[in-house]
Amino acid sequence: MSDMSMYIPGNSFFHKCDARVKMLLLVIVSIMAFLFHSPYLSGFLLIVGAVFNYISIGNRMFKHMLTRMIIIMMFFLIILHGFVNPRGETPASFFGQVISLPFFGAYTYEGFYLGLVFWLRLSSIIMMAELFISTTSPSDLIHGLHKLGVPYNFCFMVSMSLQLIPISVREAQIINSAQRARGLPEKSIVDRFKGLLPMFVPLVVSSLERMERTSMALECRGFGNTNNPTSMSDIVIRKSDIALMAVTLLLLVVCVVIRIRFGSFDMTDHLTSWADCFRLVAR
Amino acid sequence: MKNMNKEVVAHIENLEHTYSSGHKALIDINLDIYKQEITAIIGQNGSGKTTLSKHFNGLLRPTGGKIFVNGKDVASRRVSEMAREVGYVFQNPNYQLFCPTVLEEIRFGLKNLKLSDEQIKARSREVIEEFDLRGMVKKQPVTLSSGSKKIVALASVYAMDPEILFLDEPTTGQDQYGKTKLGLLSRKMKQLGKTIIIISHDMDFVAEYADRVIVMNESRVILDGTPADVFSNEEVMRTAHIMPPQIYAIGNHIHAVSSETRLSVMELAKVLAEGDYCL
**Residue-wise pLDDT tens digits, A53-75:** 999 988 888 888 889 999 999 98
Residue B269 lies in a domain: no
What are A23-38's pLDDT values in tens digits?
999 999 999 999 998 8
**Interchain pair B80, A201: CB under 8 A:** no
In A, residues 164-193, which contact B (CB 8 Å cutoff)? 171, 174-175, 177-187
Smallest CA–CA separation between B89 and chain A, in Å? 8
Which residue of chain B is at minimal alpha-carbon distance from A208? B94
Asked if A212 reaches chain B (Cβ–Cβ under 8 Å), the answer is no
Residue B262 lies in a domain: no
CATH of the domain at B133: 3.40.50.300
Query: Number of folded domains in chain B?
Result: 1
Chain B residues with CB under 8 Å of A181 CB are: 57, 59, 79, 83, 86-88, 90, 157
Q: Looking at residues A262-270, what average pLDDT do you find?
A: 86
Residue B96 lies in a domain: yes
Q: What is the pTM assigned to this prediction? A: 0.70
CA distance A128 to A23: 10
What are A147-206's pLDDT values in tens digits?
888 888 888 888 888 778 778 888 888 888 888 888 887 777 787 787 788 888 888 888
What are B199-239's pLDDT values in tens digits?
999 998 998 899 999 999 999 999 999 888 888 888 888 88
Whether residue A102 has pLDDT greater than 50: yes
Which residue of chain B is at minimal alpha-carbon distance from A210? B94
Residue B263 lies in a domain: no
Residue B135 lies in a domain: yes
Chain B residues with CB under 8 Å of A178 CB are: 88, 90, 95-96
What are B83-103's pLDDT values in tens digits?
889 999 998 888 888 888 999
**Interchain pair A174, B88: CB under 8 A:** no
Domain that holds residue B162: 8-227
Chain B residues with CB under 8 Å of A186 CB are: 78-80
